[in-house]
Amino acid sequence: MKELSFYYMLRIRFSAPVTNHRFTVRCVPQDNECQKIRKQKIRIFPRKSLSDSRDSFGNYCIFGHCSDPHELFQAEVKGEAVTGLADAQYAGPEHKAGRFRYQTDYTRPGEKLTAFFREFSFSPGSTSLEKARKMMEALYGRFSYVPGVTDITTTAEEAFALGKGVCQDYAHIFLSLCRMEGIPARYVVGMLLGEGASHAWVEVYDREYWYALDPTNPWSKEEDHIKISGGRDYSDCVINQGIMSGQARQTQEVEVCVRPI
């Protein structure tokens, strides 16, 4: 168990005023068996016509609309999290995890990922979690963390062919491998101990529970992570989505800080 303070900030500057801005923000950490959130404060600017709800994956969403001209959008969340309260999150019978068994446009394997998957053999009686860990360790040895060579549109097959990428790519490739083995697995966005940006990892279904595995940092502990959202792939967990009127370029800044208390 760990007690962590966290701060997440997303700032978007517009080069000219925009109006009729409608947005959805997913940046608020979850409260579940594995982590408890306390002393949380949320700030959204512009603070106009705000509402909140849960999406179909249970992620907390803030919706907003600002018709007035503005050149800045900012979302901030800070608070404290107690992590490592449980080894896994209850998921229920396997049919409830069924939608996480199927490949998506991001995770669908091509020739190279399929060939990599065929290299694996598992001992009789291996659990889904044991199989997933074996694939994760092999992926970590085959793939390199290199920022700037992929982007948010890069698929698992494309990233694996390059042999390098960032946490989103590790997660999509790992999801693809798990799903080829018939293991339900879901994409997770959150924060990792330290400073930087948001982080992505994977939760694997095994015997009615979701187990967190981080293919980018296989040595890290689950209690070093603070979960924000989960879904089938990156597209289900986009932190900020919006449409607006105006002719403006956008400049985005993200700041994340997680520290022990």
For the chain, how far is it from start to end, CA to CA, in angstroms?
12
pLDDT digits (tens, 9 = 90+) for 72-118: 999 999 999 999 999 999 999 989 999 999 999 999 999 999 999 99
Range 89-235 has CATH code 3.50.50.60: no
Condensed to tens digits (0 to 9), the pLDDT of residues 46-68 reads 988 999 999 999 999 999 999 99
pLDDT tens digits along 145-186: 999 999 999 999 999 999 999 999 999 999 999 999 999 999
Whether the ω angle into residue 109 lies within 30 degrees of 0, i.e. cis, is no
Q: Is the pLDDT of residue 138 over 90?
A: yes
pLDDT (0 to 100) of residue 219: 87
Q: Distance between CA 108 and CA 27 in Å, rounded?
A: 27
CA distance 149 to 140: 17
* Predicted structure pTM score: 0.96
Instruction: Categorize the per-residue pLDDT at 241 as very low, low, confident or very high, splitting at 50, 70 and 90.
Output: very high
Instruction: Please choose, from the candidates 177, 194, 192, 176, the residue with its C-alpha nearest in 3D space to the C-alpha of residue 233.
Output: 176
Average pLDDT, the chain: 96
Q: How confident is the model at residue 245 (pLDDT cuts 50, 70, 90)?
A: very high
CA–CA gap between residue 128 and residue 117 (Å, rounded): 15
**What are the domain boundaries of the chain?**
2-84+239-260, 89-235
Distance, CA of 175 to CA of 204 (rounded, Å): 9
What integer pLDDT is reported at residue 47 of this predicted model?
A: 87
CATH of region 2-84+239-260, choose from 3.40.50.1370, 1.20.140.10, 2.60.40.2250, 3.10.20.30: 2.60.40.2250
Q: What residue type is assigned to position 170 of the chain?
A: Y
SS3 (DSSP) at 123? coil
